[in-house]
Amino acid sequence: MSLRERLNDELKASMKSKDELKLSVIRMVRSSIKNREIERQHELDDREIIEIISTLCKQRRESIRLFQEAKRQDLVDKEERELSLLLEFLPQQLTREELQELVKKTIAECGAQGPKDMGRVMKALQPSVAGRADGKLVSDVVKEQLA
């Protein structure tokens, strides 16, 4: 089942169960997908849909950080619930340990020597972690390994 079909099925299920938050999140995702399809003038595949959902997750994480700084726990809770619903549509997330192993392997394959090679390592690593790990976490792990 494609991600698009899964989103449609979840939309119907959340309508039937009257789950307003899940319904809102799925509609937001579908709207973002539709906007990107209009922009690119073609139907998106699962990889491109995962990119959109990853972007939405990144936005939620940033909002959570800002709301925590502003001491708005009500908004933090809402954003965290939205984030958890979005993560259901992404592939299984990598743990930090799995990510560290993947980074070590990629560094060895690239022959990276130090921090100056970070861009090359990130470029080689991106296809294997897309949608499976937060970009900031990937960047932090690569910096640790290259230091």
pLDDT tens digits for range 109-134: 888 888 888 888 888 888 888 778 88
pLDDT tens digits for range 66-102: 999 999 999 999 999 999 999 999 888 888 888 889 8
Half-sphere exposure at residue 74, Cβ-oriented, CA atoms within 13 angstroms? 0
d(CA 24, CA 82): 9
Kindly tell me if the per-residue pLDDT of 135 is higher than 90. no
> Long-range contacts: 132-135, Cβ < 8 Å, 24+?
132/90, 132/91, 132/92, 132/93, 132/94, 133/93, 133/94, 133/99, 134/57, 134/58, 134/61, 135/58
Q: What is the pTM for the complete model shown? A: 0.79
Torsion of CA 76, 78, 84, 90, to 10 degrees: -100
Q: Which amino acid appears at position 143 of this protein?
A: K
Question: What is the model's pLDDT at position 133?
Answer: 83
